[in-house]
């Protein structure tokens, strides 16, 4: 989906986000869409303005900054986009949705859940945007998924084949909890150039079809290039 400048959705427009996700394929990331990136506001090396500058140079159509337990990087980038649009209304800028990555407990396994399109000031999000991983019941995957939904957002299981439990068990458990989707297109071996890992992608795509889940893509950038993970 190409979002026209005249109908640019807001950072919380989850219906537009779902439309984009329905169009994603192996080649969508990293040059058209990227929904998993980190800045210095968590464990990334890029400053938010450096990240958004790269996104513009690459020509991204849509994106999300997903720092761990923080939206500070997103806010800096969103402010820059808003100011730039005000002065240059026809500039070809990517659409930026709200995003964050939360550490969760699922089946006694540490996993990461990505949230998108949520209202950042919603009370349900407050415990998860403090810069540190949640603890106790707040860390339960069920609680985190529910918090995203309360705040009007969507929840995605990040890189399902990276954990100490099978993606089959984890995705089924997430689906039972009402998660919206899975990060299907992901590069597990940090290849150069970036490419979604074929075997793992097929596994996750198959499971997403079984449970009727959305499929997302992202580089999980922690380094200085949005075209790689590290």
Per-residue model confidence as pLDDT tens for the chain (230 residues): 444 433 445 899 999 999 999 999 999 999 999 999 999 999 999 999 999 999 999 999 999 999 999 999 999 999 999 999 999 999 999 999 999 999 999 999 999 999 999 999 999 999 999 999 999 999 999 999 999 999 999 999 999 999 999 999 999 999 999 999 999 999 999 999 999 999 999 999 999 999 999 999 999 999 999 999 99
Q: Does some domain include residue 26? A: yes
Q: Does some domain include residue 3? A: no
Range of the domain at 100: 13-217
Number of H helices, E strands in the chain: 6, 8
Q: Does some domain include residue 49? A: yes
Q: Does some domain include residue 163? A: yes
Which CATH number does the domain housing residue 144 bear?
A: 3.20.20.140
- What is the C-alpha to C-alpha distance for residues 39 and 74, in angstroms, rounded to an integer? 9
Residue found by looking up tokens 């990505």 in the block: 114
DSSP assignment string, 7-23? GPPPTT-HHHHHHHHTT
Count other C-beta atoms under 10 Å from residue 51's C-beta: 26
- What is the C-alpha to C-alpha distance for residues 1 and 129, in angstroms, rounded to an integer? 30
Q: Does some domain include residue 229? A: no
Q: Does some domain include residue 39? A: yes
CB 94 within 8 A of CB 128: no
Number of domains in the chain: 1
pTM metric for this prediction? 0.95
Q: Does some domain include residue 29? A: yes
> Which residue, 24, 23, 50, 27, is CA-closest to 37?
50
């Amino acid at each position: 989906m190409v979002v026209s400048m005249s109908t640019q959705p807001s950072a919380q427009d989850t219906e537009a986000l779902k439309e984009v996700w329905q169009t994603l394929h192996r080649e969508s990331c990293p040059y058209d869409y990227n929904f998993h990136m980190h800045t210095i506001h968590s464990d990334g090396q890029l400053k938010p303005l450096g990240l958004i500058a790269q996104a513009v140079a690459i020509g991204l159509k849509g994106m999300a900054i997903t720092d761990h337990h923080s939206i500070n990087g997103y806010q800096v980038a969103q402010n820059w986009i808003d100011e730039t649009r005000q002065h240059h209304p026809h500039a070809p800028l990517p659409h930026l949705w709200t995003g964050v990555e939360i550490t969760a407990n699922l089946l006694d396994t540490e996993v990461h859940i990505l949230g998108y399109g949520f209202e950042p000031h919603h009370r349900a999000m407050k415990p998860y945007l403090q810069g540190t991983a949640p603890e106790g019941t707040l860390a339960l995957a069920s609680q985190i998924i529910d918090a995203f939904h309360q705040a009007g957002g969507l929840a995605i299981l990040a890189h399902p084949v990276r954990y100490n439990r099978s993606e089959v068990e984890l995705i089924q458990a997430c689906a039972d909890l009402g998660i919206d989707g899975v990060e299907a297109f992901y590069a597990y071996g940090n290849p150069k150039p970036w490419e979604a890992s074929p075997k793992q992608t097929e596994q996750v795509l198959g499971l997403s079809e079984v449970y009727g889940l959305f499929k997302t893509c992202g580089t999980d950038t922690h380094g200085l290039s949005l075209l790689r993970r590290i």
